[in-house]
Amino acid sequence: MWAFCFILLTSYATLSECKAAAGKRHDVRHFPDGFLFGTSTAAYQIEGAWDEDGKSENIWDHLTHEDPCATKDCSNGDIADDSYHQYKRDVEMLRELGLDFYRFSLSWSRLLPTSFPDKINEAGVAYYNNLINEMLKYNIEPMVTLYHWDLPQKLQDLGGWANPNIVDWFGDYARIAFELFGDRVKYWITMNEPREVCYQGYGFVSMAPRLNIQGVAEYMCAKNLLVAHARAYHIYDEEFRALYGGTIGITLSTSWYEPESEREVEAAEDTTQFEWGQYAHPIFSESGDFPPVMKEKIAAKSTAQGFYRSRLPEFTPEEIEYVRGSSDFFGLNHYTSYLVYRNESVYTANEIPSYYDDMESMVYQPNHWDGSASEWLKKTSWGFYNLLMKIKNDYNNPIIYITENGFSTTSGLDDDDRILYYREYLDAMLDAIEGGAHVEAYTAWSLMDNFEWLAGYTARFGLYEVDFGSPERTRTPRKSAFVYKEIVRSRSLDWHYESDSTSMTIDEGH
Ligand code: GBH
């Protein structure tokens, strides 16, 4: 191991990498008492039934129908995993895995076909009631995300997250969801990954609605989305918490940004502040508001570029207070790490204005990092440890729920790479817990293969493989499903565990 490290030790990054690799991967390690395990999915990625029983169009229906080959394999989520009809099988899989909870999302346009509260779609309500009740029968807790990227198209026509009225629209939708399901749902997540919603969808082209209005639209989105999140939080806090006693927070996508060398420490920190500090700082820091480095850099550039005001909208003092502290836990999606450097000749190759020009940094992943079936995802568990410790230190040790973590492969049941990924990341998470990080739950992405956004069905994240050619979208456990099941059952990480089973059983009590 150390000889390997010596060869690799050419940069600051690989130092962290080696420290982690030299860890105690051959001990059996136990998870803390009360630690919770789950898996996660999202409505558009699994439900299908895109226009059934009164559901209206959302931005992913719209994008994939208008531009069928926007996705890598010219696919869409019209049927996806057909969970709208197969939900009992989904719950059976949760039972097979012996999970404590299941994170899924609600489809806004299925519940509210007009986008607004004037008409509630009873068939949509029945679907989620059936799913929730089926889970509760077997003591599997629902963890519900209100918004996982599938905005009603009508609201997009009105500007979507760039329109400040969305604070009311989202608040109304959230209240209805709390009224309908709050008696049984105790874990609520307002938004999944604002960074991906705003940067990829508004500032770039890699998510619907692909606005590509760079350096402008992603910041409008960020502000409105944060206030809308806070609106939902306060509605729950004031109108439902005393009644139902649940918990509510936000989920952020958080990569680890490692300086390429010691000279790049500031560049890496600035990148972190842009990439997820943008959403974490207003909610979890003591002062609230966008990170100072963002405010300064964007204001200065905006002036120089001839704008009359900063392209980064300001929060009013009331809004800062409203958003600050508006999350009971830090919902954390984490997959990978990047190296960062700053070099004017390279970053000025970006469009001006643009998000990466504002950030003044370059991020990349070296080729020797272990890859997955997704170009952006390399196995770097040392970054997970560093990230958890940074969140602990920067935001006064919040409760953390890992709401997504996982690895993609191509199809096939033998997924040793995924097993290794999960083991290394859980090991790193246990290191962070020993280091004092307040992690209380872990969620594997994903329960099963599903519609992977612009990658379509080419990248598979499932513990269960899905046969997209079969009418009932047959689900079959991969090797990793048996290993995850054993981790959950034994509440421990044992590197020697191997399973030769091919069929799942349901253990007593599930
Ligand atoms: C999650 O996003 C999603 O919540 C989930 O729906 C999805 O299926 C799952 O991960 C697997 O992808 O922005 O151009 O730099 C993961 C978020 C996606 C963030 C890729 C970083 C890198 C491309 N990540 N992204 S870019």
The DSSP code sequence of 241-273 is HHHH--EEEEEEE--EEEESSGGGHHHHHHHHI
193: annotated active-site residue: yes
CA of 61 to the centre of ligand 1 (A): 19
Q: Which residue minimizes the CA distance to atom 22 of ligand 1?
A: 376
Alpha carbons 50 and 451: distance in angstroms, whole number: 13
pLDDT at residue number 113: 98
pLDDT, position 25: 63
The ligand 1 atom nearest the CA atom of 206: 14
Q: Which of 104, 197, 252, 253 to mutate to test the pocket of ligand 1 (most atoms within 8 A of CB)?
A: 253
CATH code for the structural domain at 25-494: 3.20.20.80
What's residue 149's pLDDT? 98
Q: Domain residue spans in the chain? A: 25-494
**Nearest atom of ligand 1 to the alpha carbon of 200:** 13
Residues 291, 335, 481, 42, Cα dihedral to 10° = 50
- The residue nearest atom 15 of ligand 1, judged by CA position, is 376
Structure token digits, residue 471? 């009418």
Query: How far, in Å, CA of 274 to CA of 343, rounded?
Result: 17
- Pairing state of beta strands 187-192 and 247-253? parallel
Q: For residue 391, give the nearest of 403, 379, 383, 400 by alpha carbon.
A: 400
Instruction: Check residue 8 and give its pLDDT.
Output: 43
Region at 113 (left for phi over 0; alpha for psi -120 to 50; beta for the rest): alpha
Q: What is the pLDDT of residue 350?
A: 83
What are the CA-CA distances from residue 241 to residues 132, 179, 185, 247, 440 (Å)? 19, 11, 11, 8, 20
Instruction: Choose which residue among 276, 404, 466 to substitute to test ligand 1 binding: the one with the highest number of ligand atoms within 8 A of its C-beta.
Output: 404
Selecting among 193, 218, 264, 452, the annotated active-site residue is 193
Q: What angle do CA 203, 208, 212 make, to 5 degrees?
A: 25
Pick the residue whose CA is nearest to atom 8 on ligand 1: 452
| Ligand 1 atom index nearest CA of 452 | 8
Which 8-state DSSP code applies to residue 298?
H
- Cα of 321 vs centre of ligand 1, distance in Å, is 30
197, 162 contact by CB (below 8 A): no
Taking Cα atoms as reference points, which of 143, 254, 160, 278 lies closest to residue 213? Answer: 160
Predicted confidence at residue 207, as pLDDT, reads 98
Q: Which atom of ligand 1 is nearest to the CA of 204?
A: 14
Instruction: For residue 435, report the phi and psi dihedrals to the nearest 5 degrees.
Output: -80, 5
pLDDT at 345: 74
Helices and strands (H, E) in the chain, number of each type? 21, 17
Q: Which atom of ligand 1 is nearest to the CA of 461?
A: 11
Residues of the chain with pLDDT under 70: 1-26, 347-348
Q: Which of 141, 404, 452, 465 is catalytic?
A: 404
Question: Which residues, including other chains, have CB under 8 Å from residue 382's CB and lie 6 or more apart?
Answer: 16, 17, 19, 20, 21, 337, 428
- Ligand 1 centre distance from Cα of residue 356 (Å): 17
* pLDDT at residue 1 in the model: 31
Q: Is 404 noted as a catalytic residue in this protein?
A: yes
**Strand pairing report for 370-371 and 337-341:** unpaired
CA distance 196 to 212: 13
- Both tokens of 240, joined, read 């439902």
Q: Please state, in angstroms and rounded to a whole number, the distance separating the CA atoms of residues 294 and 240.
A: 35
Q: Encoding tokens for residue 8? A: 């690799």
Distance 174 CA to ligand 1 centre (A): 24
Retrieve residue 182's tokens: 């709050």
The pocket around ligand 1, CB under 6 angstroms, is made up of 42, 45, 192-193, 196, 200, 206, 253, 333, 335, 376, 404, 445, 452, 461
